Copies of this chain bind each other. A is one copy, B any other.
Amino acid sequence: MPDRPAAVGLLGGGVIGGGWAARFLLNGVDVRIFDPDPHAAERIDEMLENARRAYRRLTLVPLPPEGALTHASSVEEAVEGADLIQESAPERLELKQRLLADASRAAGAEAIICSSTSGLRPSLLQSQMAGAERFVVGHPFNPVYLLPLVELCGGGATAPETLARAAAAYEAVGMRPVIVATEIDGFVADRLLEALWREALWLVHDDIATVEEIDDAIRYGAGLRWAIMGTFLTYRIAGGRDGMRHFVEQFGPTLSEPWSKLVDVPELSVEFVDKLAAQSDAQARGQTITQLEQQRDDCLVTLLRGLRAHGVGAGETLAAWERDLARTVTPPPRSNGAAMAAPLELFASEVEPEWIDYNGHVTESRYLEMFGLATDELLLHIGLDDDYRATTGSYFTVETHICHLRELFAGDRVRVTTQLLGCDAKRLHFFHVLLRDGEEDPIATGEHMMLHVDAATGHAGPARADVATRVEALVAAHARLPRPERAGRRIGAVPVG
């Protein structure tokens, strides 16, 4: 199996299984999924739509063509031809053991078989399997298509090679495997989550705080740090110059104070569950799960992109995935050779809420950002792929003229049309028009001149013959279009005092 599996078989299509389906499909992997629930298909479609929405914002690197989704009617049908099988059934040992045993008998000899369990020991899960050395726990986090963490934990019968192959497969779809070397219930992450969760339940149970107050005590404080660095590095910093040793010396003594009630767990009585559910309803303020999921995903994408810019944590994982995509995904052929006498339509987007500045208007530079993204697409269209950039050169903008004609609003769907105005061996002259969907009057126009720069010398130099040919054909075809009214404009003089 190459790192990125060609096909996976998924057992279970709930919140976790559906998240796996979305991650694999958007990474170009074929998915065969088995879930006996009659609503599974609908739920998976919704999750896939959420994931597509998130990925459109997550990266500008071209994704592979989406994998094919097949709904299987049995375990055997789901695992047929799969390189990797991922079980995500409810947390019941017997159920998981049976599914994994069935899968192990139907799967190909080369397939690796993984479980999404959040806490059951792999040695127990693999006990009834054929070829149990191919089994490993691969524990993901919701939403699986966005959060990079996957905990890997092998059981007594697991071959070391299985761990390595699973790690490579998960990395190839943008994840960050953390290997838990010692088999324990709950692995590492859920031990931590569970400790916090139990304490949170006590605080609600004893009426110290509501679920909303507890959530606020996380997300306005330590939660912000935890997206960047874990508990230990955070406390190292809190220790000041003397680091962890100083921190432990200063705060260690409070460990023995009776702060935690974690000598026991609260009983989930009818009354307590009612209280939890009622407080949770109040906190959600009528927002549906879909609304909450989309808000969470929008924020996660913003966080992931932000962390990528700093090369930190999950942002590092995103950057590695993008490098891998750029290396391995061949963008679909953009030009069919027969250049048409019509402007190109290479870019479409939605006006993001974060584009609105503190005065309530779309920030000026966002218009150029959209034109810049349309220019990136134009360059791909004429054949400037990653390999061309590395070996030959690229076009760089030397001059830009923008006219602002009408206003944009958050949520507007927009597109950019592109007309080539001219070229010579080194230069590329074109005209972008930004349009709101369903309208013909431009929102803004951008006239651009680019210069071809040689990768080796860093100086202006001619484009490679195949690129030049494509550009000339487009320029010739577009010469039959009317020249844009605003091409060649200069800013007119007004009185000088």
Nearest CB on B from A140, distance (A): 8
A373 to chain B: closest residue by CB: B365
Residues of B within 8 A of A251 (CB): 91
CA distance A189 to B372 in the complex (A): 44
A293-318 interface code vs B (CB 8 A; 1 in, 0 out): 10110111011111101111110010
- Residues of B with C-beta under 8 A to A211: 230, 232-233, 244
A439 contacts B by Cβ under 8 Å: no
The reply on A56 being an interface residue by CB < 8 A is no
Number of copies of this chain that the complex holds: 2
Query: Once the chains bind, are A423 and B192 in contact (CB under 8 Å)?
Result: no
Given that A243-B280, A494-B424 are contacting pairs, would A303 and B142 also be in contact in the complex, using a CB cutoff of 8 Å? Answer: no
Contact of A230 among B215, B277, B352 (CB under 8 A): B215
Chain B residues, CB < 8 A from A352: 309
A365 to B495, CA, bound (A): 30
Binary CB contact string for chain A from 174 to 202 against chain B (1 if under 8 A, 0 otherwise) = 00101011101111111111111111110
| Known contacts A178-B220, A215-B230, A255-B268: A199-B209 contact under CB 8 Å | no
Chain B residues whose CB sits within 8 angstroms of the CB of A184 once the complex forms:
208
CA distance A345 to B224 in the complex (A): 36
Contacts of A203 in B (CB 8 A): 188, 191-192
Which secondary structure characterizes the binding site on chain A? helix
Output the nearest chain B residue to A311 by Cβ-Cβ distance: B353
Name A217's contact: one of B151, B234, B494 (CB within 8 Å): B151
Q: Which of A232-284 contact B (CB under 8 A)?
A: 232-238, 240-241, 243-245, 248-252, 254-260, 262-263, 265-266, 268, 273, 276-277, 279-281, 283-284
Instruction: Please pick, from B201, B224, B478, the residue contacting A303 in the complex, using a CB distance under 8 A.
Output: B224
Query: With A188-B209, A277-B244 given, is the CB distance from A226 to B217 under 8 Å?
Result: no
A150 to chain B, nearest CB (A): 9
Residue from A184, A221, A265, A422 having most chain B Cβ neighbours under 10 A = A221
Distance A213 CA – B177 CA, assembled complex (angstroms)? 10
- Judged by a CB distance under 8 angstroms, whether A110 is at the interface is no
Q: Which of A178, A198, A227, A488 has the most CB of B within 10 A?
A: A227
Whether A348 sits at the interface, judged by CB under 8 Å, is no
- C-alpha gap A144/B256 in the complex (Å): 26
CB <8 Å contact, B60 and A358: yes
Q: How far is the CA of A429 from the CA of B491 in the complex (A)?
A: 9
Q: Which of B141, B200, B232 contacts A283 (CB 8 A)?
A: B232
Q: A368-411: which have CB < 8 Å to B?
A: 368-369, 372, 375, 389, 394, 396-404
Taking the closest CB of chain B, its distance from the CB of A266, in whole angstroms, is 8
Q: Does A472 sit at the interface, judged by CB under 8 A?
A: yes
Asked if A167 lies at the interface with its beta carbon under 8 angstroms from chain B, I say no
A258 to B238, CA, bound (A): 32
From A185, A289, A396, A448, residue with most partner B Cβ within 10 Å? A289
Chain B residue numbers with a CB within 8 Å of A216 are 149, 176, 178, 230
Nearest CB of chain B from residue A81's CB, rounded to whole Å: 30
A12 within 8 Å of B (CB atoms)? no
Contact at B491–A260, with CB atoms within 8 Å?
Answer: no
Q: Is A496 close to B, CB under 8 A? A: yes
Q: How far is the CA of A312 from the CA of B399 in the complex (A)?
A: 38
For residue A223, CB closer than 8 A to chain B, the reply is: yes
Are A307 and B299 within 8 A (Cβ)? yes
0/1 interface trace, chain A 446-484, chain B, CB 8 Å (1 if under): 011100000000000000000000001001101100000
Q: Is A292 an interface residue (CB 8 A)?
A: yes
Contact of A231 with B by CB under 8 A: yes
Tell me whether A404 and B394 are in contact (CB under 8 A).
no
**Which residues of the other chain, B, contact A364 by a CB distance below 8 angstroms?**
368-369, 372, 375, 397, 400
* B259 and A185 contacting across the interface, CB-CB below 8 Å: yes
Interface residues as binary, A426-438 with B (CB distance below 8 Å gives 1, 0 otherwise): 0101000000000
Say which residue of B227, B401, B449, B491 sits within 8 Å of A226 (CB atoms). B227
A497 at the interface (CB under 8 A from B): yes
The 10 closest A-B pairs by CB, nearest first: A215-B230, A309-B354, A223-B226, A149-B221, A262-B262, A476-B497, A302-B306, A244-B280, A195-B199, A149-B220
Can you pick out 6 interface pairs between chain A and chain B where the beta carbons lie within 8 Å of each other?
A223-B225, A223-B226, A223-B230, A243-B289, A248-B273, A326-B358
